[in-house]
Amino acid sequence: MRKLVLLALALLGLLDSLYLLWAYTSPAHPMVCVGGGCDVVRASSYAHFLGLPVPVFGVAMYGVLAALLFIQPLLTESWARAARGVVAGISGVGFLISLGLTGVEAFVIHAWCTWCVLSAVTVTLIFILSTYEALSAESVSSPSRRLAGMQRNLAVLLVGIVLGVPSYVFLTRKNAAPPPHPAAAPVLRARLVRADTHFYGNPNAPLTVVEFGDFECPFCRQAEAAAEKVRQQFGHQIRFAFRQFPLTAIHPYAEKAAEASECAAQQGKFWQAVDYFYAHQSNLTVPALESYAGKLGLHQAQFDQCLSSGEMAARVQQDIRDGRAVGVTRVPTFFIGHVMVEGVLPYARFRALIEQQLHAVEAAQPVAASQGASPAASTNAASAAPPAHPAATSLAVANPLPFGGGANAFTKIIAPNAGCSASEAQQKQPTMIGVAAARQLASSPGGALFVDVRSPAQFATGHIPRALNLPSSRFANEVARLPKDKTIVLYQGGRATGDICAASRAAGRLLLSHGFPYQNVKVLQQGLAGWQKAGLPIER
d(C-alpha 415, C-alpha 396), whole Å? 7
521-to-28, 282, 478, 491, 509 alpha-carbon distances in Å: 24, 22, 16, 11, 9
Stated pTM of the model: 0.55
pLDDT band at 444 (very low <50, low <70, confident <90, very high): confident
Q: How many CB atoms lie within 10 A of CB 33?
A: 18
Q: How many CB atoms lie within 10 A of CB 522?
A: 22
pLDDT tens per residue, range 245-281 = 999 877 888 999 999 999 999 999 999 999 999 988 8
The percent of residues in the chain predicted with pLDDT above 70, rounded, is 82
Give the pLDDT confidence score for residue 378 in this predicted structure.
32
Asked which of 61-75, 158-172, 487-501 is least confident by mean pLDDT, the reply is 487-501
Indicate if 230 and 365 belong to the same structural domain.
Answer: yes
Q: In what order do the strands lie in the sheet with 396-397?
A: 198-201, 238-244, 207-213, 333-336, 339-342, 411-414, 396-397
* Domain around 121: 2-173
d(C-alpha 275, C-alpha 345), whole Å? 17
CATH of the domain at 102: 1.20.1440.130
Indicate if 32 and 144 belong to the same structural domain.
Answer: yes
Contact status, residue 449 vs residue 489, Cβ threshold 8 Å? yes
Look at residue 253 and tell me if it is in a domain. yes
d(C-alpha 402, C-alpha 389), whole Å? 25
Indicate if 223 and 321 belong to the same structural domain.
Answer: yes
Give the end of a domain, one of 173, 203, 233: 173
Look at residue 510 and tell me if it is in a domain. yes
Give the pLDDT confidence score for residue 37 in this predicted structure.
66
Give the end of a domain, one of 141, 173, 205: 173
pLDDT tens per residue, range 278-293 = 988 878 989 999 999 9
Section 201-220 average pLDDT: 91
The domain tally of the chain equals 3
pLDDT tens per residue, range 105-116 = 888 766 688 899
d(C-alpha 365, C-alpha 308), whole Å? 48
pLDDT higher than threshold 70 for residue 180: no
The alpha-carbon radius of gyration of the chain (Å, integer) is 28
Look at residue 314 and tell me if it is in a domain. yes
d(C-alpha 355, C-alpha 377), whole Å? 21
pLDDT tens per residue, range 389-421 = 434 334 444 443 333 334 445 778 887 677 788
Nearest alpha carbon to residue 355 among 319, 392, 382, 326: 392
Residues 6 or more apart from 325 whose CB is under 8 A from it? 177, 178, 180, 188, 191
pLDDT band at 81 (very low <50, low <70, confident <90, very high): confident
CATH of the domain at 431: 3.40.250.10
pLDDT higher than threshold 80 for residue 388: no
d(C-alpha 2, C-alpha 263), whole Å? 49
Give the end of a domain, one of 381, 414, 447: 414
pLDDT band at 138 (very low <50, low <70, confident <90, very high): low
Q: In what order do the strands lie in the sheet with 521-524?
A: 431-433, 521-524, 488-491, 449-452, 468-469
pLDDT higher than threshold 60 for residue 175: no
Sequence-ordered alpha helix ranges (H) in 105-142: 114-135
Give the pLDDT confidence score for residue 410 in this predicted structure.
72
pLDDT tens per residue, range 82-109 = 998 999 999 999 999 999 999 988 887 6
pLDDT tens per residue, range 339-374 = 889 988 889 889 988 998 898 887 766 544 444 433
pLDDT band at 123 (very low <50, low <70, confident <90, very high): very high
Look at residue 181 and tell me if it is in a domain. no
Give the pLDDT confidence score for residue 100 in this predicted structure.
92
Give the pLDDT confidence score for residue 172 in this predicted structure.
79
Strands (E), 418-540: 420-421, 431-433, 449-452, 468-469, 488-491, 521-524
Look at residue 178 and tell me if it is in a domain. no
pLDDT band at 10 (very low <50, low <70, confident <90, very high): very high
d(C-alpha 73, C-alpha 84), whole Å? 11
Map residue 523 onto helix, strand or coil: strand
d(C-alpha 305, C-alpha 312), whole Å? 11
Look at residue 480 and tell me if it is in a domain. yes
